[in-house]
Amino acid sequence: MEPIILKRADHNVSRQNMTSAAVKVLYRLKDEGYTAYVAGGGVRDLLLNRNPKDFDVATNATPEQIRKMFRNCRLVGRRFRLAHILFRGEVIETATFRAPVPDDGDETVHCENTLRVGESGMVMRDNIFGTPEEDAMRRDFTINALFYNIADFSIIDYAGGLKDLDDKIIRVIGEPDKRFAEDPVRMIRAARFAGTLGFEIEQEAYESICRNKDLLASAAPSRMYEEVQKLFFCGHAKEVFQWLEKTGLLHPMFHDFSHWIDEDKARHDWVIQTLEQMDRWRQAGLRVHPALLFSLIFGEYHEFLIKQLEEGGQTPHDASRNAIQNHLRPMCDNVRVPKQVIYQVCDIMTNQRRFERTQGRRPQRFIQTRGFLDAFLFFKFSSKAHNRNQELLEFWTEQRKSNPPKQTQRKKKRGPNNTNPDGEMPIE
Ligand code: ATP
Ligand code: MG
C-alpha cells in the first residue's frame, strides 16, 4: 500500500525539538546509506506539540550493522535484537524494521526477547526483519505507527494515523479482537493514550476491550507492572483511571480493590483525589516512587483492611503488615509488584501510628529514620484529604523544620527525577 507522505512544509515536526542524541543517530545511519526514521511515540507527540518521553529509531540496518557503526551501542533482546545507543542521560532505542510475527498464536508480538525454539532445538530467527510498511502495521495503534524520515524531513503514514491524530481517535491497527488477544497489554495502553492525550477510543476497539478485558490475566506480570507504573505516572492518572473504570479493565487488574471502590462513592473519591495529587506532582516535575504511589492509591483500602484485622484481635502492627501483604501479594500474580515495594508500602502504613506519639524524644528519632519522609507525605496527604489531624500535622511540620533529617547519603543517591529529597512536595 502506498503511504500518505506529508512534506516538511506541511507539518510541524522539527529536528530542533528532538534531542541531539536522536538527531545524531538518524544522521549517522543516513550518512552510511541506510533508511532512518523516528518511529512511534516521538513522532506522535511532536505532531501534537507535546514533549516526547523518548525517541525510538527504526532503520533497515541490521543490529550487527548498527553495532559496528556506534561505539556506544549495546544489543539487547534475544529473538528480536534491538540496539540501545547510549548517550549521557539518554538511550536511543534503534530497531531494524520488523516483519509481522507468524500467526502461531503462542507469541505476543511485542513480547520480544523471548527465544522461540523449534523442534530441533534451534532458535528460529527467520522472517524477523521486514519492510517499513510491515513494521508500521505491526504496531499497536495508528497514531503510534507514524515515521519521520530524516532523509527529506517528511512524515510517512501507512496506517491512517495522521487522520486519527486530527480526529483524536485511538484506533487499533487490524482487528481489535485479534490484536488484543495477541497482546492483552495493548488494552491498557489504549486507556493510557486515551487518558493522556484526551482522545476517544474508536468504537470497535472500545467494545473489543469491554469483551476481552479478562485476557489481561494472561499478560506477562512483569510487563503489567511496567505498564501499571506508566498508567499512574503519566501526569494524567485521573483521566486514565476513568478510562480503566469505563472499559472495565480496572477489575481484572485489581479485583478486590475495584469491588471495594464500587461499594461506596466516598472510597472512589479518595482514589480520584489521590490521582489528582499524583498528577499535580508529576506536572510540577516531581517523581513519586512506586511504593508511595501504591500506598496512596490503596491507602484508604488498606486502612479498611487493617481495621478489620484489628477488630478480629490482631495487634495494630500485625494487622498492618498482614492486611497489606494479603492484598498486595496476590496482586503480584498478575502485576508483578516487586517484594521490595511491598515492604516499603508496609513501612509507610505501619509508620502512620508513630505520628500519634509526640512525647519525649520519639519525634526526633522518627524523623531521622529512612522511612520518615514517605510516611510523612502519606500522613500529610491523608490528613488533608480527610480534613483530620490538623494539630498533629502542624506539630510534625514544625518538628521537621527544627530537626531536618540528616540523610546526606540518601540525598546523594537521588537523581533529579526522584521524590524531592526535602519532602517539600506540595500537597493541595
Ligand atoms: P510513550 O509516550 O509512553 O513512550 P510510546 O508510543 O512511545 O509512548 P512505547 O512503549 O515507548 O510507547 O513504545 C514505542 C512504540 O512501539 C509505540 O509507539 C508502538 O508503535 C510500539 N509498541 C509499543 N508497545 C506495543 C505493543 N504492545 N504492540 C504493538 N506495538 C507496540
Ligand atoms: Mg516511547
DSSP for 265-324, please give it.
HHHHHHHHHHHHHHHHHHHTT----HHHHHHHHTHHHHHHHHHHHHHTT--HHHHHHHHH
- Closest ligand to Cα 158: 1
Q: How far is CA 343 from CA 332, 351, 353, in A?
A: 13, 12, 17
Q: What's the length of the chain?
A: 428
Predicted confidence at residue 111, as pLDDT, reads: 39
Q: Whose CA is nearest to atom 10 of ligand 1?
A: 41
Q: 160 CB less than 6 Å from ligand 1?
A: no
| Residue position matching grid coordinates 514544625 | 398
- How much distance in Å is there from the Cα of 248 to the middle of ligand 2? 25
Q: 195 CB less than 6 Å from ligand 1?
A: no
Q: 161 CB less than 6 Å from ligand 1?
A: no
pLDDT digits (tens, 9 = 90+) for 208-247: 999 999 999 888 888 888 898 899 889 999 999 999 999 9
- How much distance in Å is there from the Cα of 144 to the middle of ligand 1? 7
pLDDT digits (tens, 9 = 90+) for 49-82: 999 999 999 999 999 999 999 999 999 987 778 9
- Closest ligand to Cα 39: 1
Q: Whose CA is nearest to atom 21 of ligand 1?
A: 139
The CA distance from 387 to 380, in Å, is 10
Q: What is the pTM of this model?
A: 0.87
Q: 74 CB less than 6 Å from ligand 1?
A: no
- 209, 216 in Cβ contact below 8 A? no
pLDDT digits (tens, 9 = 90+) for 316-354: 889 988 998 888 887 777 788 888 888 899 999 989 989
**Consecutive H or E run containing 290:** helix 290-297
DSSP for 338-391, please give it.
-HHHHHHHHHHHHGGGGGG--STTHHHHHHTSTTHHHHHHHHHHHHHHHT--HH
CATH number corresponding to 168-253 = 1.10.110.30
* CB-proximal residues (5 Å) to ion ligand 2: 41, 54
Q: 112 CB less than 6 Å from ligand 1?
A: no
Q: Which atom of ligand 1 is nearest to the CA of 230?
A: 3
Predicted confidence at residue 388, as pLDDT, reads: 87
Third-level CATH fold of 255-413: cca-adding enzyme, domain 2 (1.10.3090)
Q: Which atom of ligand 1 is nearest to the CA of 54?
A: 4
Q: 98 CB less than 6 Å from ligand 1?
A: no
Catalytic, 422? Answer no
The CA distance from 175 to 179, in Å, is 6
Question: Grid coordinates in use for 105?
Answer: 498464536
Catalytic, 140? Answer yes
- 223, 111 in Cβ contact below 8 A? yes
Q: Provide the residue ranges of all domains of the chain, joining segments of one domain with +.
A: 1-163, 168-253, 255-413
Catalytic, 167? Answer no
> What is the bridge-based pairing of β-strands 200-201 and 56-59?
unpaired
The CA distance from 2 to 159, in Å, is 10
Predicted confidence at residue 13, as pLDDT, reads: 97
pLDDT digits (tens, 9 = 90+) for 268-301: 988 998 899 889 888 888 878 899 989 998 988 9
| Residue position matching grid coordinates 469505563 | 246
Mean pLDDT estimate for the chain: 87
Q: Which of 45, 135, 140, 279 is catalytic?
A: 140
User: Which of 282, 123, 264 lies closest to 196 in space, CA to CA?
Assistant: 282
3-class SS of residue 416: coil
Q: 216 CB less than 6 Å from ligand 1?
A: no
Q: Whose CA is nearest to atom 14 of ligand 1?
A: 40
CATH for 1-163, options being 1.10.10.10, 3.30.460.10, 3.90.1150.10, 3.40.718.10 = 3.30.460.10
